[in-house]
Amino acid sequence: MRSESYWLDTAAPFVGAQSAAVEGQVDVVIVGGGFTGLSAARALAMKGASVAVLEAGRVIGEASGRNGGQCNTGVAQDYAALTASLGADQARAYYKAYESAVQSVVTVVEQEHIACDLKRNGKLKLAAKAMHYDGMARTCELIRREVDADVELLSAEQARAEVDSAEFHGGLLQRNGVQMHVGRFGVGLAEAAVRHGAQVYQDAAVTGWKANPAGFKVNTARGSIQARQILLATGACQHGGPGWYRRRIVPVGSFVVATEVLPQALIDQLFAHQRSYVTSRLIGNYFRITPDNRLLFGGRARFAMSNSTSDAKSGKVLRSAMVQMFPALANVKVDYCWGGLVDMTSDRLPRAGEHDGVFYSMGYSGHGVQMSVHMGQVMADVLDGNPAANPWRELDWPAVPGHFGTPWFLPLVGAYYRYQDSRH
């Protein structure tokens, strides 16, 4: 069993990285070579800006290449709860932002001819309890009335025809969602950014920056570079970084296993339409079929940071949950097990804007595949002088009380969520 991300292990290497020292002068330095940074670099380069992407490791080596591969419409919060807390107009605008984000991914793939196995299958959220189904019914009615007519509530019988498991009481089907090989997409996005003129540096961890009359001098492990503007696109990066962001982002471990290649007949039996799936528990699971017919199955198996020991323990938890959900997979081998970090905000909504003269976009809270690509393009517009392009510009971003960068409270949060799952 490999401890590497399936997406990273089965993607071609990125060949466009700069081998020279980090030096010179550019319009924009982008800190972070994930989907946000690469998307912004491509968009800025297409506008004629000179851009340098500084990545501490390999491009898409963190969250962008270690996720569950879900790319769908849908805010991280329940839409009904979001409407109740923010009002119908704001909830609708945020839902539309995620809807636009899916199209942003599709457009990049089509414009750059990225071979990443793109297909539109939609997302099915599965009700793990009968009371969850009742909540889905209310949410479905609200979404259909307010923002998206192309959603459907499925009965338990209909859900069983979609996913052959006795675990679920129905589901909410949202059709605006795509699947792709996120590793191949990410490498293709990096190559596209370079093709349009961006410079992409790997193994170039940023050690700090200092404002000066011309903008900022940015220091890295491979040299220094002058930039007029900086875009911080680091997510839950653990390579250091400004404390202001670390107090507002909670890095939460998310873990994934991928099975051996499954027989087509078994896939057809268990996953008739091969959608992206997510369950309704607070500590739930997400799963989908990969382009080469493996089942990718993930979730917050343990409320802990990702490391080799934690990943292995989480893999056992995930395999057990997978077999409970799908007994037909009891004898199936697991080929991959890995973990990564989700950049959570306290309200699970993204944050983007400017702080101390530095622009940023992060906090996608588990919905980053589509939103990161979209926000990279949005922030290119913002840096180009259009702050109104940012859908999250009005959100306040207070620090998480008691949080100074190391999430010491994760086990307590996990215990609370397990308690809530047992009651509701």
Domain count, the chain: 1
Q: CA distances (Å), 10 to each of 67, 137, 289, in order?
A: 14, 39, 15
Token couple for 157: 């019988």
* Rounded Cα–Cα distance for residues 76 and 366 (Å): 7
3-state secondary structure of 372: helix
* Rounded Cα–Cα distance for residues 377 and 352 (Å): 12
Kindly state whether residue 191 falls inside one of the protein's structural domains: yes
Kindly state whether residue 423 falls inside one of the protein's structural domains: no
What are residue 271's DSSP bridge partners?
163
* Rounded Cα–Cα distance for residues 337 and 316 (Å): 9
pLDDT digits (tens, 9 = 90+) for 268-315: 999 999 999 999 987 789 999 999 999 999 997 565 667 778 788 889
Q: CA distances (Å), 101 to each of 59, 84, 163, 347, in order?
A: 21, 23, 27, 19
Kindly state whether residue 220 falls inside one of the protein's structural domains: yes
Determine the pLDDT at residue 307.
Answer: 78
Kindly state whether residue 421 falls inside one of the protein's structural domains: no
65 near 8, Cβ under 8 Å? yes
pLDDT-derived band at 412, boundaries 50, 70, 90: low
Determine the pLDDT at residue 377.
Answer: 98
pTM of this prediction exceeds 0.85: yes
Mean pLDDT of 250-273: 95
Kindly state whether residue 422 falls inside one of the protein's structural domains: no
What are residue 286's DSSP bridge partners?
278, 298
Mean pLDDT of 141-170: 96
Residues 6 or more apart in contact with residue 375 via CB below 8 angstroms: 36, 39, 101, 350, 352, 361, 364
Q: Which residue has the tokens 């911080």?
A: 232
Strand 71-72 versus strand 177-179 pairing type:
antiparallel
218-222, 246-250, 294-298, 374-378: lowest mean pLDDT where?
246-250
* Rounded Cα–Cα distance for residues 225 and 207 (Å): 12
Determine the pLDDT at residue 17.
Answer: 97
Q: Radius of gyration (Cα) for the chain, nearest Å? A: 21
What is the domain extent for residue 63? 6-414
Q: CA distances (Å), 215 to each of 30, 42, 102, 209, 228, in order?
A: 14, 21, 34, 10, 4
DSSP 227-280: EEEEEE--TT--S---HHHHTT-EEEEEEEEEESPPPHHHHHHHBTT--EEEES
pLDDT-derived band at 84, boundaries 50, 70, 90: very high
Segment (H or E) for 195: helix 182-195
End-to-end CA distance of the chain: 36
Share of the chain above pLDDT 90, in %: 80
Kindly state whether residue 419 falls inside one of the protein's structural domains: no
Segment (H or E) for 336: strand 334-344
CATH number at residue 11: 3.50.50.60
Segment (H or E) for 43: helix 35-46
Kindly state whether residue 207 falls inside one of the protein's structural domains: yes
Mean pLDDT of 149-167: 97
* DSSP state at residue 302: S
Neighbours of 392 (CB within 10 A): 19
